[in-house]
Structures are given as C-alpha cells and as structure tokens.
Structure 1
Amino acid sequence: MESILIKTAQLLLSLSILVVLHEAGHFMFARLFNTRVEKFYLFFDPWFSLFKTKKGDTEYGIGWLPLGGYVKISGMIDESMDKEAMKLPPQPYEFRAKPAWQRLLIMVGGVLMNFIFAMVIYIGVLYAWGEQYLPTANVKYGIVVNEQGEEIGFKTGDKILTVDNIYVEEFHKVVPTIVLDGAKTVQVERNGQKIDVEISGEDLALLLKSKSIWDERIPYDINIGKLAKDYPAAKAGLQVGDILGTVDGNAFEYYDEFTKYLESKAGSDIEIAFTRDGNKMTKTITVNEEGKLGFNPAFNNSDLFEFKTIKYGFLESIPAGIKRGVQTTSNYLKQFKLIFNKETKGYESLGGFATIGNIFSPTWDWGHFWNMTAFISIILAIMNLLPIPALDGGHVMFLFGEIITGRKPGEKFLEYAQIAGMILLLGLVLYANANDIIKMINGTF
C-alpha cells in the first residue's frame, strides 16, 4: 500500500508540473500576441474549483478533477464550448482575430514547452547523476529465461551477442531494441556456439505483453538476506547471514538451479546445509506450496557484474541530454507502428493512469522521478500533436489547412469537430484504463 501511495504522489506531482508548463506555453504565446487569456487552470473545474484568484484579465485556479489542465483563450473554440461568446463580433484581443501564423504558434506553444522541458530535465539528470548501465558484454553468466522467453526460443544460459547482428551496448535496452526496431534475429552464444534466434511477429506481440523475458544469470554463492515473516525459512530458524550450501545433497552452480529445485519440491521437506559463524549446520525445512522458502538472497560476490558509469560536466551534459531527448522521442514514435500493427497487436498493450503510475519507483528516488517526468513530457508532447480535434494537433491541422488554402474553417464546423474529438478522446481514455483493469484482474499488470 505504501508503494502505491508513493507512486501515486509521484504521478500527481509529475503531471502537475507538466500540465502547468504545457499550458504556460500556450499562455506565453497568447500574451506575446496580445491575445486575452480568460482562465489558466491546473486540473479541470466543472461546477467548482478548489482555488482561484484573478489577476488582470486572467483567472488562475486549481480544479478538483486531476485529468490535466487548460487555458481558456478568448475567441477560441475549445473544450469549454463557449458558443455564446462566439456569436458576438470578433474583438482585436481574441484568438480568432489573429493571423493564422500567430494562432499556429499559440497552439504549438504547449508542445514546444514539453519538448524543451524534457531536454532540460535530461541535461540536469546527466549533470547531477550521470548514467550507469550494465554493458551487454559484461553479462558473463548469460541469462535466466522465463516461460515467455523460452516460447520465443531463448534458453537459460544463453549469452546475448547482437540484435540483427548489431551490438547493443546496454543490456537492459536489448529487449526494447528488439521490439522497437522490429528485429528479425537475435544472436546468442549457446554451449560455445553462435546461434540465431528468429523473432516473428507473434514473438514481438508476446514481448509487448510481457513484463520481462529474462534476467541476468547469477552464481549460487549466497547468504540469507531479509527473511519473510511466517515463511518456511524464518520458521525453521534460518538467520540473516547464513551461507547456503547443498540441498538434499545437491550442489548448484547457479542460483536459478536452486530456485528451480525448490519449485520441484513444493510442499515437500528438504534438507538444507548452511554455514553460520564458521560452523556447518543442516536443517529440514518444508517448502511452501509456491515452491519458496521466503528470503531475499544476499550475494557474496559484490563484483558479479561490471557496470559502466559515465559522469558529465555541465557543458558535456548539454549535448548528451539533448541526444537522450531526441532518442527517447524517436523510440516513442516507433511504438506507434506497433500500436496499429495487426500482427503485434500493440493496441492491446495500451495503458491508462495505472500503467503510467507504475513506471515510477516504489520508493522516492529523485533521479528516477525526473527521468520519468522527462519521458512523460515527451509522451504528452507527441500525444498532443495527434491530428485529433480537441487536441493541439487538431487545431494545428486546421490552421495548416487555412494557411495552404487561404480559407478559414467555419465556426460551426469547428464546433462539431471539437465535439467529435472530445468523444474520441474519451473513448481512448476509457479503452486504455479498461486495459489496466483487465490486466489487474488477470494478474498480468
């Protein structure tokens, strides 16, 4: 429960920052062109607001419905659907009275702010924390593959070499690279031989639905770490720091061999050997029905994997941060191909607020928080650029049409388009959040 509250708090803080900055982008361009802004709100305020104050022509406030925010610009057909004001003659300070190029800049101001802010965050993150990652070549014991990974064709012990014969430097980017680039093969070392694992469209669909398909393989050289209360290990008297040895006389080379053996002995007694304070001991323990003893392993070898750490000076962080922002944008755009691909069925992986909240850390980690905020900022920018009426992209689409043809769309047409766009957006929101609920019910969230 605590982790859910922390994730929710991070999500609300992140979205609040991004919504305010997005709307500030519209606000600044509107004011630059002497266009009146009637309202500037964080969250929506149907019927009432939590807070409001007026300064000049603009009412600033906080709504009670945390689904975004808005600026209400005079003389503009938007989600407020203020038809009465549109019946009056255009005023010089209204949006509709401005030249098309000014209206275009007002509409793209929010998206522009989101992209710029993401780049600024990445620059700051790299300067403050640098970056650390596990090189693929340093996963020296290979991988431990789950059921989904085996279905695709990988095997426990495989060492990842390349994706479509191209080396991926960061191990944790191997799977995203396979998915986003639509890889056809993955090269692995298996039993001393190089093998191609073929990736089909069905495999890509499975990768999209799976949380993960593998982990790094770790040697069986462990201590008892944190013990879970009311689980077999604690009940049997094992203690933190005990060094595990054989089980039923079986020695293990890798930790996954130990866990697999426990699963095979679910509900049965095992004799486990261990060392405590230099003394060798044994205990008989009943493995629970889940095939677990109930402890976190503490690995004796602290240098299992050699991570790569890169530190950036201030000037170095600027191009590195911009590069990361551009790469994140490129990767997210690639996902759209998967969403509309019938073979990969990416639309089944669309998620709502629970999915977004779940990307945050269960503990408050500022480095991770800002990285995720930058990522969401890019998502908001791209989503707002979609040519759907009621989104910034819909307004931009009509403005480009006006600039090209020299003809302004009728206000009645814009009203109907706005309503249609709002209905479509509501449907997408309901669909995405329904996917979250289905995943929770199926236990796949």
Structure 2
Amino acid sequence: MTSTIIRSIQLLLSISTLIIVHELGHFILAKIFKVRVEKFFLFFNPWFSIFSKKIGDTIYGLGWLPLGGYVKISGIITTEDVNHHNNTKKNDWEFRSKSSIKKLLIISGGIISNILLSIIIFTCLLFQYGEIYLPTKNIPYGIEVDDLGKNIGLKNGDKILFVNGQYIQYFNEIPKAIILGDSITIDRMGKIVHLSLDNNKKRYLFDRKKFSFFIRPRIPIIIDDYNSSSTGVDGLKKNDEILAINSKFVLFSDQLKNFVSKYKNENILITINREGTIIHKNVYVDNKGLLGSINLKSFMDMDNIFLFEKKKYSLIESFFHGTKKSWNVLKNQIFFFKNVFHIQTKAYKQIGSLFSMAKEFPSTWNWNIFWTFTATLSIWLAFLNLFPIPSLDGGYILFIIIEMITKKRINESITEKCTVLGFLIISVIMIFIIIWDIFKVLLY
C-alpha cells in the first residue's frame, strides 16, 4: 500500500508539473502579445472547481479531474464558444485579432515549453550526476539473455558486434538499438551469426506484461553477502567466486540458475575460488531452487572486471547532451507510434493511461528517476500535442498554417465544428485507453 501511495504521489507531482509548464507556455506568449487570458486551470473542472481566484483579468484555479489542464484565451474557439464569435466585433485583446504568426506562437507555446522543460531537466541531471557508461568492448564474457532475448534468437554468451550494421559503443544503448533495428550481427563461440528482426520477433519485445532487461552482461558467480544464520552457508565469505557444483564447472550466473534448480531441498558441493585458493563447501538448496540466502554481485558491483567510463560535464556540455537526450527520446516515441499500427508487433499493448504511468515510477522516492521520467513524459506530451487533431494544439496549428498558406481566414463556424468533433474524438480515445488499462490489470 505504501509503495502504491508513493508511486501515486510521484505521478501526480510529475503530471502537475508538466501541465503547469505546458499551459504557462501558452499564457506567457499570450501576455507578450497582449492577448487576454480568462482562465488558467490545473486539471479540468467540469461542474465545479476545488479552488479558484480571479487576479486581474484571469481566474486561476484547481480542478478535480486530473486528466489535463487548460488556459482559456479570449477570442480562441473552444467547445464553450460555439456560435458565440460569429456575431461579435473583434477586440485588440482577443486572439482572433492577432496576426497568423502571433497566433502560431501562442498555440505553440505549450509544446515549446515542454520541449524546453525536458532539455532543462536532462541538462541539470547531467550537470549534477554526470553519466556512467559501460563500453561494449569491456564486456569480456558476452551477454546473458532472458526468455525475450532467446525468442529473438540470442543466446547466453553471444557477443554483439553490430546492430543494423553499426557498432554500438556503449552497452546500455544496445537494447534500444535492437528494438529500433532490423538486424543483429553476433559472435557466437567464434562463429559470425546474422539475426534478422522482423515484426514477428519485435512482438516479443512489445508484447510483455512488464518491463525487463532482455540482455545484460554475462557475469561470473561472485558472492556479495549472505545471512550467516541460514542453514548450509557456513564458511562462505564476500568475494568468493563459485567455479563448480558437484565437481561440474559452472562459471556464469545464468548457468548457476539452470543447474541449481535441479537440486531443490538438497545439499550440493560447491567449489569456490577465494583469493587464488580453491575451497570446497556444502551448501543447501531451498525448495525454490535457490542457494539459501546468498546474494550474488551484479555487473555494476564488478568494476574490477567491467571497466566503466564515468563522465562529468560542464554546464555547456550538459546542455548539449541534454538536448541530444531529449531528441533521442522523441525519436524513440516516433518509432513506437509507428509500431502501434503494425498489428504483428503488438506494440499497441504497451499503450496505457495514468495507471500504467504510475507503475513506471519506483516504489521508493528517487529524485534522479523522478526527474528523468518527468523529462521523458514532457517530450511525450509535446509529441502528442503536435497531432493535427482539432482541440489539440496541433489541430489549431494546422488551421493557422492553412490560413498562412491561403492568405484567407477559415470560416469560424467550420473551426468550431471541427473543434467539437476533435474534442469528442479525444474523449473517446481517452476513455478507451483507461478501459484498456483496467482490462490489462485484470488480465495480467
């Protein structure tokens, strides 16, 4: 319950930040061009508001429906303004009285703000924490794969040489390159193997119930810590390396999982390397096929084997790499959107509402993860608002561009009808996504 509350608070804080920044973009540019803003609301307020206060010409408020927010700009067509503007005189402080360029900037303000927010967040994170990379060349034992990795043709011990014919410098970029790519070239025990990535294989990556790392560096079996009071682990020490079980070589963690599961509720003889000395110990395997309470090191703890590169950036360098990161996030979202329409990939199963977003946040508070996810969502929000659907920013932008090209104003009654239709389309889509999200929870 506590983890659910923490995730919910993080989600609420994140989307509130994104909504305020988005609407602030419209608000600021409207004020710059002397356009009156009638309302500025965080969350929607059908029928009633939690809070509202008028300051100057603007009513600031908090709605009760956390599915978005809005600013109501004087002279812009909304669903509340049907048949209102046709018979009224244009005032200088109205949106409709401004030039097409000013209109375009005001409407684009939210998208621009979300893009800038993403860049600023990534810049600050990089400046504060820098980055830690694991060069692909520094993975001596190849990769370990889960069922997803096996389904696309990879095997434990494979060494990835190229993805789409390109060498990937850092290992953390390989999973993304595989999802985006069409082919993988690997070294499999000295033999060069080429794997194609068609839509049938891509569906394994998209059609998964929860996120997982389908590849990771293959690692030796080194003890990190254990509960000394547990049965059958006496005499073990941190940094002991397991080499064999019942006199059979077991050198890597993926081999250990497969081998130990055969000896549930039994004692096994393990051979360990302790600082160059070979030692034999009896260890009990529990009914789950695990070595009691022994915890093994991850590759992140083996910096003597996996040589990481740690990078610190100046403020200017952080801005450059932060901008690059935002651009890469946008490219990933465009790729995902394209795959949604390829039924074979089953990418549509990854579409979710606020419920799915909440699950992506960690169960304990972590500011680094929180801001990283918020920056990612900010670009996602900017991308969605570019869609040329009336009632979204992209729909208004489309109308303005048509006006700029034709040099004629679009009939306001047409704009009004399209806006109402767009609002209904968006509402139906949102309801469908929420129902689909609930269905996924019940199904999985």
Q: TM-score, normalised by structure 2?
A: 0.87
2:395 alignment counterpart: 394
Instruction: Give the residue type in structure 1 aligned to 2:137.
Output: A
- Cα separation, partners in 2 of 1:154 and 1:435, compared to 1, 3 Å: farther
2:207 alignment counterpart: 209
Q: Is there any run of 5+ residues in structure 2 with no aligned partner, and where?
A: none
Aligned pairs, number: 430
- The SS at the match of 2:85 is helix
Q: What pairs with 1:301-340 in structure 2 (closer than 5 Å)?
A: 301=302, 303-340=304-341
Q: Is 2:91 the partner of 1:89?
A: no
- Give distance in 2, aligned partners of 1:177 and 1:283: 41
Question: Cα deviation per residue 1:155-179 (whole Å; 9 max; x = unaligned)?
Answer: 1111111112211122122121122
- Cα separation, partners in 2 of 1:413 and 1:331, compared to 1, 3 Å: same
Q: Is 2:163 the partner of 1:163?
A: yes
- Give distance in 2, aligned partners of 1:385 and 1:343: 26
- Aligned identity (percent) is 34
Question: Cα deviation per residue 1:252-272 (whole Å; 9 max; x = unaligned)?
Answer: 211111111233345x43435
Farther-moved stretch of structure 1 (56-65 vs 320-329): 320-329
Q: 1:198 aligns with which of 196, 208, 232?
A: 196
- Give distance in 2, aligned partners of 1:325 and 1:395: 24
Q: What pairs with 1:25-174 in structure 2 (closer than 5 Å)?
A: 25-79=25-79, 81-83=80-82, 85-86=84-85, 88-92=87-91, 93-174=93-174
- Cα separation, partners in 2 of 1:441 and 1:236, compared to 1, 3 Å: farther
2:417 alignment counterpart: 416
Instruction: Give the residue type in structure 1 aligned to 2:282.
Output: T
Instruction: Give the residue type in structure 1 aligned to 2:268.
Output: E
Question: Cα deviation per residue 1:226-253 (whole Å; 9 max; x = unaligned)?
Answer: x6xxxxx986365895758554554421
- The SS at the match of 1:194 is strand
- The SS at the match of 1:205 is helix
Farther-moved stretch of structure 1 (21-30 vs 41-50): 41-50
- Give distance in 1, aligned partners of 2:173 and 2:358: 21
- Give distance in 2, aligned partners of 1:100 and 1:62: 31
- Cα separation, partners in 2 of 1:252 and 1:418, compared to 1, 3 Å: same
- The SS at the match of 2:64 is strand
Q: Is 2:13 the partner of 1:5?
A: no
- Cα separation, partners in 2 of 1:388 and 1:131, compared to 1, 3 Å: same
2:268 alignment counterpart: 271
- Give distance in 1, aligned partners of 2:362 and 2:368: 10
Q: Is there any run of 5+ residues in structure 1 with no aligned partner, and where?
A: 228-232
- Give distance in 1, aligned partners of 2:95 and 2:25: 15
Farther-moved stretch of structure 1 (201-210 vs 18-27): 201-210
- Give distance in 2, aligned partners of 1:86 and 1:142: 67
1:230 alignment counterpart: none
Question: Cα deviation per residue 1:101-129 (whole Å; 9 max; x = unaligned)?
Answer: 22221111111111122122222121111
* Alpha carbons 1:349, 1:435 under 8 Å: kept: no
Q: Is 2:376 the partner of 1:379?
A: no
**What do you get for the CA RMSD once the two structures are aligned?**
2.8
| CA deviation after TM superposition for structure 1 residue 63, in Å | 1.3
1:297 alignment counterpart: 295
Farther-moved stretch of structure 1 (92-101 vs 124-133): 92-101
Q: TM-score, normalised by structure 1?
A: 0.87
Instruction: Give the residue type in structure 2 aligned to 1:236.
Output: T
- The SS at the match of 1:398 is helix
Instruction: Give the residue type in structure 1 aligned to 2:169.
Output: E
* Alpha carbons 1:224, 1:244 under 8 Å: kept: no
- Give distance in 2, aligned partners of 1:112 and 1:437: 32
Instruction: Give the residue type in structure 2 aligned to 1:407.
Output: K
* Alpha carbons 2:263, 2:285 under 8 Å: kept: no
- The SS at the match of 2:24 is helix
